[in-house]
Chain A
Amino acid sequence: MMAWYTANAVVVQATMTTLLLALSIQLPLRVGVFSFAGVGCFGIGGYTAAILYTKFDVDTWPAVALGTLLAGGLCYLLGLIIHKLSGLYLGMATIAFSLIVAVAATNGGSLTGGASGIFGALGGITNLHVLLLLALVVAGLAISEYGRFGRMIDTVREDPELAAALGINVGRYRKLTFLASGLIGGLAGAVTTLLRSTITPAEVNFHMVVVALTVIIIGGSSSWLGALIGAIVITWLPTVLSFVADWESIIYGFLVALAAIFLPGGVLGLAKDLIHRWRARRRPTPPAPPASEAEKIPGGEPSSPATERSLASTQGGTS
């Protein structure tokens, strides 16, 4: 076990940081907010931590904390402005946000290191630290998937109007999602940067959106567990099949297409479905339906056809 870990420490690390990034994108999708701002927040968190660490002599953890908080705060502000946009427009706005971060990093002069980025930002972070932070994030997300909180989030995503009719403050959920997504993305960026010692503007680009989406689509968008599955697949595939590395984009594209067509809920969705079917089959014969249900056999006596039809078909209104 130990020997295995030593040999694979780098891939384990990559799995964890990829998972953090994917979670920052998965959360808004789960709330029905089509936001990729997590990628921009990755950049904000990463650059902030790296700048503080290399240029202002700030220690590792304060640098990570400030990077995380700044990303969360900016993402929340973004959310205040754009949370009422829907679907594609919101997605475009958040991608624009991420691109602006990249442009700012490229043109930040000596502060951001321009196009070549920042080097030598090797903080004192170990894989165990990352694991603990990840556990903290996952615990928070797991709570948001469980019980009443999980139900309400599902309703906000599936049917916002219904959610409001049930007393759920949809706007607040959407805004807080930006905050949480920004914090997770910022943490991912800060931790990844101080682990790898470097960040460049090229990392904060559309490629990252693609990686995060690949992870989510392959694993499943409904739970952190899906993102974990996806992150493992994506980071380990190139080590298991060496040719994958050369053909990365094509193979990922192929996997995403396959998953989208055959596994709409990802690997996790497939597993859940199988469990549900297995349970349904194990369920004893359904309890006797009430009399009324037996009544509902097709061809059963229709209800007061005369009044009902005449009312329904009467032309009125303005349509």
Chain B
Amino acid sequence: MSRSQNDSADPRMIFEADDVAVHFGGVKAVDGLTFGLPEGKIIGILGPNGSGKSTLVGAITRHVPLTRGTLKFLGKDYAGDEPHLVPHRGIARTFQTVRLLEERNVLENVLLGTDSLTAGGRAARRLGQERAEQAMARTGCDHLAKVRPDELSYGNRRRVEIARAIAMEPKLLLLDEPTAGMGRAEKEEISTLMLSLRAEGLTQLIVEHDVQMMVDTCDSLLAMNFGKLIVEGEPREVVRNPAVQEAYLGKQAVKHA
């Protein structure tokens, strides 16, 4: 309780979670998380499979019901919001498994990021088109505008999804394993993109299994296990932390480190 208040003094927290828990019956997927996201930073979440990372993202976007706790965005408690209101507040997300409209081409999929957030009318339509084209250029899928998703490589499908989220022009971007299944070079592109978005002041929360990428890209890391936050702080320190080594990297990785 008191911790999140202390944190919000400096730097400014764009998002605060206080004692957030999500239980599915007996499964405590998220179990009492308290943390804040400092504005304009990239924060990474590490954790083994099933540790509750995606569930936490779903809680932040209000897709999963909270068992307890409060969520604040820009100082306002929004835990009671219906999920469709959350993007209007300025929170956009991608999904662990890419979700696109297969019957629509890439441009239209990216336009979907602007559709409900801009008013109707010609001016808004042009604005949406511009935003979508910009987002596609930044993620490197602008040359695929007219292609349908089912003709795309896995990595390109992820790019389209990220482009759609960027086209929403959020204040907080949540990326659930944005580079899963990508090669090293593609991962680097995504990492570069995230850093350039940060330079524009966008706060980002990223879930990733690639420790190296997390250390290179994130300003701070949260390490989860069994739905609980076990360590948080500077990326290198978090990764070196014995509890994290034990929980995530296993004994073999401890040897290598």
**Interface residue? A240 (CB, 8 A):** no
**Interface residue? A166 (CB, 8 A):** yes
A166 surroundings in chain B (CB, below 8 A): 87, 112-113, 115-116, 164, 168
B88 surroundings in chain A (CB, below 8 A): 167
Chain B min CB distance to A155 (Å): 6
**Interface residue? A162 (CB, 8 A):** yes
- Do residues B99 and A159 form an inter-chain contact, with CB atoms below 8 A? yes
Q: Pick the interface stretch among A98-106, A130-138, A252-260, A307-315.
A: A307-315
Q: Quick one: given A154-B101, A165-B83, A317-B226, are A312 and B49 in contact (CB under 8 Å)?
A: yes
Q: Quick one: given A164-B83, A318-B28, A318-B226, are A148 and B250 in contact (CB under 8 Å)?
A: no
A301 surroundings in chain B (CB, below 8 A): 183-184
Q: Pick the interface stretch among A67-75, A107-115, A177-185, A284-292.
A: A284-292
A312 surroundings in chain B (CB, below 8 A): 49, 209
Q: Given the complex of chains A and B, what is the CA–CA distance between A311 and B187 in angstroms?
A: 17
Of B84, B117, B153, B253, the residue contacting A296 (CB under 8 A) is: B153
Chain B min CB distance to A156 (Å): 10
**Interface residue? A116 (CB, 8 A):** no
Q: Quick one: given A166-B112, A295-B183, A295-B186, are A307 and B212 in contact (CB under 8 Å)?
A: yes
Of B84, B102, B184, B225, the residue contacting A316 (CB under 8 A) is: B225
- Do residues B49 and A151 form an inter-chain contact, with CB atoms below 8 A? no
Q: Given the complex of chains A and B, what is the CA–CA distance between A311 and B212 in angstroms?
A: 11
A308 surroundings in chain B (CB, below 8 A): 209-210
**Interface residue? B195 (CB, 8 A):** no
**Interface residue? B95 (CB, 8 A):** yes
Q: Quick one: given A296-B155, A316-B51, A316-B247, are A148 and B120 in contact (CB under 8 Å)?
A: yes
**1/0 contact string of B46-90 vs chain A (CB within 8 Å):** 111111100000000101000000000000000000111111100
What residue in chain B is nearest A265 (Cβ atoms)? Answer: B103
**Interface residue? A304 (CB, 8 A):** yes
Q: Given the complex of chains A and B, what is the CA–CA distance between A161 and B147 in angstroms?
A: 24
- Do residues A319 and B50 form an inter-chain contact, with CB atoms below 8 A? yes
Q: Given the complex of chains A and B, what is the CA–CA distance between A151 and B95 in angstroms?
A: 19
- Do residues B168 and A318 form an inter-chain contact, with CB atoms below 8 A? no
Q: Given the complex of chains A and B, what is the CA–CA distance between A295 and B69 in angstroms?
A: 45
- Do residues A168 and B84 form an inter-chain contact, with CB atoms below 8 A? yes
Of B117, B128, B256, the residue contacting A306 (CB under 8 A) is: B256
A151 surroundings in chain B (CB, below 8 A): 101, 104, 108, 111-112, 115
B32 surroundings in chain A (CB, below 8 A): none
**Interface residue? B126 (CB, 8 A):** no
- Do residues B49 and A319 form an inter-chain contact, with CB atoms below 8 A? yes
**Interface residue? A283 (CB, 8 A):** yes
**Interface residue? A303 (CB, 8 A):** yes
A167 surroundings in chain B (CB, below 8 A): 84-88, 116-117, 168
- Do residues B186 and A296 form an inter-chain contact, with CB atoms below 8 A? yes
Q: Quick one: given A147-B125, A148-B111, are A291 and B84 in contact (CB under 8 Å)?
A: no
**Interface residue? B248 (CB, 8 A):** yes
Of B85, B99, B247, the residue contacting A162 (CB under 8 A) is: B99
- Do residues A152 and B115 form an inter-chain contact, with CB atoms below 8 A? yes
- Do residues B61 and A165 form an inter-chain contact, with CB atoms below 8 A? yes
Q: Given the complex of chains A and B, what is the CA–CA distance between A19 and B116 in angstroms?
A: 31
B184 surroundings in chain A (CB, below 8 A): 295, 301-304
Q: Given the complex of chains A and B, what is the CA–CA distance between A291 and B117 in angstroms?
A: 33
B111 surroundings in chain A (CB, below 8 A): 148, 151
- Do residues A287 and B143 form an inter-chain contact, with CB atoms below 8 A? yes
**Interface residue? B156 (CB, 8 A):** yes
Q: Quick one: given A158-B101, A290-B140, A311-B248, are A152 and B116 in contact (CB under 8 Å)?
A: yes
Known: A167-B168, A311-B210, A314-B248. 12 other contacts (CB 8 A): A154-B103, A161-B63, A167-B87, A169-B82, A169-B116, A296-B182, A307-B212, A310-B250, A311-B211, A312-B209, A317-B49, A318-B50
- 19 of the cross-chain contacts (CB-CB < 8 Å) are A148-B125, A151-B101, A151-B112, A163-B84, A166-B113, A166-B168, A167-B87, A286-B143, A300-B183, A302-B183, A303-B184, A303-B210, A308-B209, A311-B46, A314-B248, A316-B47, A316-B50, A316-B225, A317-B227
Chain A interface residues (CB < 8 Å from chain B): 147-148, 151-152, 154-155, 158-159, 161-171, 276, 283, 286-293, 295-296, 300-304, 306-308, 310-312, 314-319
Chain B interface residues (CB < 8 Å from chain A): 27-29, 46-52, 61, 63, 82-88, 92-93, 95, 99, 101-104, 108, 111-113, 115-117, 120, 125, 128, 140, 143, 146-148, 153-156, 164, 168, 182-187, 189, 209-212, 225-227, 247-250, 252-253, 256
| A-B residue pairs, 3 tightest by C-beta | A317-B50, A316-B48, A167-B87
